[in-house]
Amino acid sequence: MQRKGFYYGLWMTTMIGFMTVSTALALEDDNKLQTYSSVSGVSGKLKSIGSDTLNNLMTLWSEGFRFYYTSVKIEVEGKGSSTAPPALIQGASQFGPMSREMKPKEAGASTCPSI
């Protein structure tokens, strides 16, 4: 039983070290970024159809975007990852968040080279 606790402690120490290094590297990169300033003339609609798992993330992103561009209307629909590819292909949305990899059948249905 002590051996199990030892390995768990070793694993936790390794993970904490990894997270500390990752955070330090990310902060170093963030400091290199220029402060964002919005531009004029951005308006219209954006629609996201896809994973309900990513709804909160998409909503958070849209709130941040609308902070800079109040005239942009953003709609987020979480109906499942399988709804993202058809929505993008049909032009019903500009974003198609998926909480899984696209299946070969879904990828093959696209005529757009970027999907």
pTM above 0.75, yes or no: no
Going from N- to C-terminal start, the domains of the chain cover 1-33, 44-108
- What pLDDT, on a 0 to 100 scale, did the predictor assign at position 33? 76
Compute CA distances 29 → 25, 35, 57, whole Å: 6, 13, 22
β-sheet bridge partners, residue 95: 48
- What pLDDT, on a 0 to 100 scale, did the predictor assign at position 40? 92
Compute CA distances 90 → 11, 28, 48, 49, 103, whole Å: 47, 41, 13, 11, 18
User: What is the mean pLDDT of each successive set of 10 residues along the chain, which is 115 residues long?
Assistant: 66 70 65 84 95 94 94 95 93 94 81 55
- What pLDDT, on a 0 to 100 scale, did the predictor assign at position 91? 94
Domain 44-108 in this protein, CATH class: alpha beta
- What pLDDT, on a 0 to 100 scale, did the predictor assign at position 56? 93
- What pLDDT, on a 0 to 100 scale, did the predictor assign at position 50? 95
